[in-house]
A = this chain, B = another copy of it.
């Protein structure tokens, strides 16, 4: 436990991290109920020529009410391990993201998926009717647990603006109202969105970490 506490610290290269490597292809378990997110990271792993297989496990886990999604994701990862939803030595990751709208004091933020379900894109557009300041930020956090209660997080952010109307049919959630470079995320292909999106950035950091750790990996 003390050792785990020490390893938990953010940043700092970790020499002794071990991953389950099945044959030549590395397997990573992604726990999420969102198929879109699975498609996004698989597409990215392919583009990066990463020899990684993303396994998808659809299992529900609770999130605590907190405005800091990094804290939420880290807590959830520990909960998943604690409740034995995966094996003690089984590496897995989750991803949490939020839309933070400047004129709404960061709403819906950590509660984005709940708010989307309840009031949708129409609700957000209504709240911003007549509001000039359309600045918004998407943030994504990947929480990766290689084993035990060790959790490492990878953050990705993209700044954009809330469109004045719903546009596009790709993606999911608030994608049709989030504009970046003149197009909404829902007007982009998975690859185009991955190249600039919060989640694409977090996933790339995460995959690069995995690849470099694997190449440096010590065999006990």
Minimal Cβ-Cβ distance residue in B for A63: B65
Q: Does A13 belong to the interface (CB within 8 Å)?
A: no
A69 to nearest B CB, angstroms?
A: 11
Partner of A119, one of B67, B104, B129: B104
Q: Are A107 and B111 in contact (CB under 8 A)?
A: no
Question: Is A106 part of the contact surface with B, judged by Cβ < 8 Å?
Answer: yes
Q: Which residue of chain B is the closest to A65 with respect to CB atoms? A: B63
Residues of A bordering B, CB below 8 Å: 62-67, 104-109, 111, 114-115, 117-119, 123, 126-127, 129
Copies of this polypeptide in the complex: 2
Task: Find A118's partner among B66, B106, B117 (CB 8 Å cutoff).
Answer: B106
Q: Nearest chain-B residue to A129 (Cβ)?
A: B126
- CA gap between A134 and B62 in the complex, in Å: 31
Bound CA–CA A64/B76 (angstroms): 10
| Contact, CB under 8 Å: A65 / B111 | yes
Tell me how far the C-beta of A71 lies from the nearest C-beta in chain B, rounded to whole angstroms: 10
Q: How far is the CB of A96 from chain B (nearest CB, A)?
A: 11
In the assembly, what is the distance between CA of A111 and CA of B115, in Å? 9
- Taking the closest CB of chain B, its distance from the CB of A128, in whole angstroms, is 9
Closest 4 CB pairs between A and B? A107-B118, A63-B65, A62-B64, A105-B118
Q: Which residue of B lies closest to A109 (CB)?
A: B118
Interchain CA distance A127-B104 in the complex, whole Å: 13
A123 and B109 alpha carbons, distance in the complex (Å):
15
Residue in B111, B117, B118, B129 whose beta carbon sits within 8 Å of that of A114 in the complex? B111
B126 touches A115 (CB 8 A): no
CB distance from A217 to the nearest CB of B (A): 36
What B residues does A126 contact at CB under 8 A? 126-127, 129
